[in-house]
């Protein structure tokens, strides 16, 4: 029993360290890609080609003083970033990086992820309220309304996948895509899932909670040093999570896109990492390419476009599967 607990703790620590390194270099990748698109240099001073820039930024935030507004609720103010960061980490426990590389291969993995993702709004609301700032509070309200609104089309997209695969286990969802990836029969749910993922993570063109021209920085405007860094880490962890879920639900997870001999020798975690990287680059490119939505347009898109379309597609999927007894 002792060795089992010790082994589990070691696996959790390894996963957290690798995730933090991935987040650090995702920020560098984002800055490099944005710089290339905008025809400028980007980070190029710390380390060769600026590769050590994330480490320098992290050390700078670590040694800076944390400023607490005098009129804020200091306990909740400091607690909020830890809540957001912790919730962004615990979802990774059920992500299968290969057929046997998963921390907790539970049968209700999809339900667990949906439950964990719905908790993320609490850290944002607590930070906005406890800051005692009108800009932070407005940013928190915007973010909460946005996340709750887009959870519905996101959830119904996942329900289409569950209906086809007949399981809530993430590993079994991947195994059901051995011959046909889900994005082929479920292309519309994939598009809606991807758009909802952008809105859930407050990314362009849905970054209304952090609209610089209106709210300066949104719900985290009063935060500095490591408390601000925790919000940033939580945001990028959620981005990688959405990229991983896109890969698992619609693109075969750790399955190779090739069936011939040389490529099947590569581990499944390699292929999942490639797919996550492609989606992460797409997230970054969308930030550079698309303008920001107006807030009423954001809500109209979620409630009047995405939700009716995915509901209709879900009904169609259920009707076809149970009428003809077809399963992917």
Give a three-class secondary structure readout of the chain. CHHHHHHHHHHHHHHHHHHHHHHHHHHHHHHHHHHHHCCCCCCCCCCHHHCCHHHHHHHHHHHCCCCCCCCCCHHHHHHHHHHHHHHHHHHHHHCCCCCCCCCCCCCCHHHHHHHHHHHHHHHHHHHHHHCCCHHHHHHHHHHHHHHHHHHHHHHHHHHHHHHHHCCCCHHHHHHCCCCCCCCCCCHHHHHHHHHHHHHHCCCCCCCHHHCHHHHCCHHHCCCCHHHHHHHHHHHHHHHHHHHHHHHHHHCCCCCCCCCCHHHHCCCHHHHHHHHHHHHHHHHHHHHHHCCCCCHHHHHHHHHHHHHHHHHHHHHHHHHHHHHHCCCC
Residue for token pair 């758009």: 195
| pTM (2 d.p.) | 0.89
pLDDT of residue 209: 65
Burial of 279 (0-12, 13-18, 19+ CB in 10 A): buried
- Say if residues 168 and 113 touch (Cβ distance below 8 Å): no
The residues, any chain, with a CB within 8 Å of residue 86's CB and separated by 6 or more, are: none
According to the model, what pLDDT value does residue 309 have?
93
Residues of the chain with pLDDT under 50: 260-262, 328
State the CB neighbour count (10 A cutoff) for residue 51: 14
Q: What is the pLDDT of residues 250-267, one digit of tens each?
A: 998 888 887 544 455 677
Question: Could you read off the pLDDT of 10-43 as tens digits, one per residue?
Answer: 888 888 888 888 888 898 888 889 888 888 888 8
Please, are residues 164 and 114 in contact by the beta-carbon 8 Å criterion? Answer: no
Residue 264: the pLDDT is: 58
pLDDT at 39: 86
User: What is residue 139's predicted lDDT score, i.e. its pLDDT?
Assistant: 82
What tokens were used for 57?
């930024």
228-237: b or e for each residue (b if 16 or more CB lie within 10 Å)? bbbbbbbbbb
pLDDT of residue 216: 63
d(CA 271, CA 300): 37
């Amino acid at each position: 029993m002792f060795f089992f607990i010790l082994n589990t703790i070691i696996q959790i620590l390894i996963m957290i360290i690798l995730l933090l390194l991935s987040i650090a270099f995702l920020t560098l990748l984002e800055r490099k890609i944005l710089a290339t698109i905008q025809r400028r240099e980007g980070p190029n001073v710390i380390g060769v080609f600026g590769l050590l820039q994330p480490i320098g930024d992290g050390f700078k935030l670590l040694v800076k003083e944390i400023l607490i507004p005098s009129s804020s609720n200091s306990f909740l103010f400091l607690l909020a970033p830890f809540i957001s960061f912790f919730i962004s980490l615990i979802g990774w426990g059920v992500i299968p990086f290969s057929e046997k590389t998963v921390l907790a291969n539970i049968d209700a993995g999809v339900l667990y992820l949906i439950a964990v993702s719905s908790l993320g709004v609490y850290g944002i609301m607590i930070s906005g309220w406890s800051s005692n700032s009108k800009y932070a509070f407005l940013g928190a309200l915007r973010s909460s309304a946005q996340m709750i609104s887009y959870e519905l089309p996101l959830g119904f997209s996942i329900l289409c996948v569950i209906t086809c695969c007949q399981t809530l286990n993430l590993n079994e969802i991947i195994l059901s895509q051995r011959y046909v990836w889900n994005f082929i029969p479920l292309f519309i749910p994939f598009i809606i899932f991807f758009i909802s993922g952008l809105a859930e993570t407050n990314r362009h063109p849905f970054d209304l909670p952090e609209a610089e021209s209106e709210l300066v920085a949104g719900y985290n405007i009063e935060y500095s040093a490591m408390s601000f860094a925790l919000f940033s880490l939580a945001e990028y962890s959620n981005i990688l999570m959405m990229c991983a879920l896109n890969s698992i639900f619609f693109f075969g997870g750790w399955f190779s896109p090739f069936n011939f001999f040389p490529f099947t020798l590569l581990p499944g975690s390699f292929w999942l990492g490639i797919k996550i990287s492609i989606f992460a680059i797409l997230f970054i490119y969308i930030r550079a390419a698309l303008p920001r939505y107006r807030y009423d347009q954001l809500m109209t898109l979620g409630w009047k476009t995405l939700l009716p379309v995915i509901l209709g597609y879900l009904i169609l999927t259920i009707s076809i599967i149970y009428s003809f007894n077809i399963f992917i």
